[in-house]
Amino acid sequence: MATLSTTAIPAPLTPTGAARLLVLRNFIVYKAAWKLFLTGFLEPVLYLFSIGIGVGQLIDTFEFHGEQVPYAAFVAPAMLATSAFNGALLDSTFNVFFKLKYEKLYDQMLATPLTTGDIARGEIAWGLIRGSVYSAAFLVVMLVMGLVDSWWAVLALPAAVLIAFAFSAVCMALTTWMKSWQDFDKITLAQMPLFLFSATFFPVEAFGDGVLRWVVEATPLYRGVVLCRELTTGVVTWESAVSVVYLVAMGIAGLLVVRRRLDKLLLT
């Protein structure tokens, strides 16, 4: 009597396993181009040296929530948040656009057991990792320079990870609407005001009590700057809780939008 042979059927991928595969794929690709990672990290460091330390020579101390802190210690956590912002933005816009529109990588992935949800989670996770690496390196710079004044700073890296998650998700969502490389001028147009007017180099009180201050306080990078600044200086207020809720909601909303947009672009 003949014996029937059975072929093992691989277990279906879990969402975590699928995201891990995409992260591994990106790691292998970038391993040979590690120098690209330096761009997003060096910009905040140079700003810290030129403005935080250079201008700081002209300003003895700076008031923050009633506490006197060195100007460099005021600017540094803003640059920490900016590091997470830069890493997430670079990967979730330029690189995602190329994969989506030109390389057609996601179309190829959908020929495998991967789903659009897996692609969204994997790419957002990679953008989060890139932003987190920038932030971790910058936090080391802050420690070496003596710009960390509180044990609350141990939460600064998780805070930076949250910032990277929020921006990675939203930036990837926005990228799905882009039609050409010229659309990236809009990214630059939004990136620079966010950087300059998120209480990065001066307190939000400088805007007075009008509408402009409310607009600034509602921007995502400002919420990230507040969170990192309060943690590294040890002056933690209710604004940190507001920032955490804001960034979590922003990241989840971005993830949901990315999933819907990829369904529309790749499955119809």
Q: What is the pLDDT of residues 81-138, one digit of tens each?
A: 988 898 888 888 888 999 998 889 899 888 888 888 899 999 999 888 888 888 888 8
Distance of CA 173 to the CA centre of its chain: 13
The pLDDT > 90 percentage for the chain reads: 28
The pLDDT score that the predictor gives to residue 65 is 72
Q: What is the pLDDT of residues 209-233, one digit of tens each?
A: 888 889 999 999 999 999 999 999 8
Q: What is the pLDDT of residues 230-241, one digit of tens each?
A: 999 888 889 999
Burial of residue 136 (number of CB atoms within 10 Å: 0-12, 13-18, 19+): middle
- pLDDT at residue 10 tops 60: no
Task: Extract long-range pairs of 256-263: CB within 8 Å, 24+ residues apart.
Answer: 257/169, 257/170, 257/173, 257/176, 258/120, 258/123, 258/124, 258/169, 258/172, 258/173, 258/176, 259/116, 259/117, 259/120, 261/173, 261/176, 261/177, 262/106, 262/116, 262/119, 262/120, 262/176, 263/116
pTM of this prediction? 0.87
pLDDT band per the 50, 70, 90 thresholds, residue 12: low
The pLDDT score that the predictor gives to residue 13 is 67
pLDDT band per the 50, 70, 90 thresholds, residue 201: confident
Instruction: Provide DSSP, 159-222.
Output: HHHHHHHHHHHHHHHHHTT--SGGGHHHHHHHHHHHHHTSSSSS-GGGGTTSHHHHHHHTSHHH
- pLDDT at residue 34 tops 80: no
Question: What are the residues whose beta carbons fall under 8 Å from the beta carbon of 215, sequence distance 6 or more?
Answer: none
In one-letter notation, the amino acid at residue 112 is T
pLDDT band per the 50, 70, 90 thresholds, residue 39: low
Q: What is the pLDDT of residues 150-162, one digit of tens each?
A: 888 889 999 999 9
- pLDDT at residue 6 tops 50: no
Mean pLDDT of the chain: 84
**E strand or H helix that includes residue 76:** helix 71-90
Please tell me which residue, 246 or 195, carries the higher pLDDT value: 246
